[in-house]
Amino acid sequence: MSALKGKTVLITGASRGIGAAAAKAVHEAGGAALLHATAASASAEAAAKAAGQTVEDFLFEDLAQSGAGTRLVEAALARTSRLDGVVNNAGIFTPSPLAGDIADWNDGWARTMAVNVQAPADICRAAVAHFRKRGGSGIVVNTASRAGHRGDGVENAAYAASKGAVLAMTKTWARGLAGENILFYAIAPGWVETRMAPKDIEDRKLAVKEIPLGRVAEPAEVAAMIAFLLSGACPSAAGATFDINGASYVR
């Protein structure tokens, strides 16, 4: 498969889960992936190897820090003269309980918004500037969540709100930039077999019970959709959100 031959794609949160699977999919489709993680780790080494690289090829940046998204794109462009696509996949899940210490509440909301909203917004802004500088055209895939549509547990409002924001900004930029052939898409997974998936036996049973397909999604399934969108095979889908949830939430 060579649908991404000659294409270079920046992928955030690429050391594990969906990001690592997306990096592998890009590599297998003939593209070059620029991999991001917060720090080096054993999982980053494995992800790099699957994408035909080494852990030294990773771009490390803590997206909770101010300006991190912009710095990351600058670092990516220091490695390559051209970015064709961006996958904003990095995210955190921090509980925001209604009861408890107000400092924990404030910190949970602030960190969630920094990593899940501000950093991808900054990355999108820098990517659009790059796409325009080289004459237009580029693709951005933003990872949202089923929670951004239907909400989440009462203790997880910050996460749901952050993913709703990702959907809103994706739609906004898709509408405003498609005429320049700068295409934005969103994916909204439900439960995926990553470290965020329920590990407790009873919690897992409850999660699977609400999925008509009968199982949580595999990262490779989500990655396959990401690779397809990056290929540019269907520009008219710009602005769309692709639900990957085993029919557990059908809009």
| 42/177 Cα distance (integer angstroms) | 39
16 contacts 38 by C-beta, under 8 angstroms: no
d(CA 193, CA 208): 11
Please state, in angstroms and rounded to a whole number, the distance separating the CA atoms of residues 210 and 220.
21
Phi-psi category of 186—alpha, beta or left, where left has phi over 0 and alpha has psi -120 to 50? beta
User: Please, which residues have CB within 8 angstroms of residue 236's CB and are 6 or more apart in sequence?
Assistant: none
Other beta carbons less than 10 A from residue 247's beta carbon: 12
Q: How far apart, in whole angstroms, are the C-alpha atoms of residue 59 and residue 40? A: 9
159 among known catalytic residues: yes
Start-to-end CA distance of the chain, whole Å, equals 32
- Please give the torsion angle defined by the CA atoms of residues 204, 207, 208 and 210, in that order, rounded to the nearest 10 degrees: 160
Three-state secondary structure call for residue 62: coil
Contacts of residue 24, Cβ cutoff 8 Å, sequence gap at least 6: 47, 50, 51, 220, 223
Point out the catalytic residue in the list 58, 93, 159, 191.
159
Look up residue 239 and give its amino acid: G
Task: List active site positions.
Answer: 159
